[in-house]
């Protein structure tokens, strides 16, 4: 198990990998102090998705039926 601690003495933060039974044996790697505070990281971080709302609202057509503004299909000039 990984545990995150913060030393109250030198104010450094570190991570240790020990057994839950050996939590009292943890010392600061910097100053070997035992005034440690357990740090609980926030793992519940959610990312908000604002663009994809739901079924409501007009769905954008993926494939357009025709390109009106395109010069390809608009009129046919003679000449040549």
Site residues (CB under 5 A) for Zn ion, limited to 27-46:
28, 30-31, 33
User: Is the Cβ–Cβ distance between 28 and 9 less than 8 Å?
Assistant: yes
> How far is CA 62 from each of CA 30, 65, 70, 74, rounded to the nearest angstrom?
59, 10, 17, 22
* In the complex, least distance from residue 30 CB atom to Zn ion, rounded to whole angstroms: 4
CB of 13 or CB of 67, closer to Zn ion: 13
* In the complex, least distance from residue 1 CB atom to Zn ion, rounded to whole angstroms: 21
- Residue 61 DSSP label: P
Which residue among 3, 4, 6, 9 contacts Zn ion (CB under 5 A)? 9
């Amino acid at each position: 198990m990984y545990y995150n601690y913060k030393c109250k003495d030198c104010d450094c933060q570190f991570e240790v990998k020990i057994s839950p039974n050996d939590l009292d044996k943890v010392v600061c790697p910097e100053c070997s102090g035992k005034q440690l505070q357990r740090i609980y990281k926030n793992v519940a971080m959610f990312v908000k998705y604002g663009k994809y709302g739901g079924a409501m609202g007009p769905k954008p057509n993926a494939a357009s039926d025709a390109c009106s503004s395109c010069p390809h299909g608009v009129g046919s000039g003679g000449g040549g």
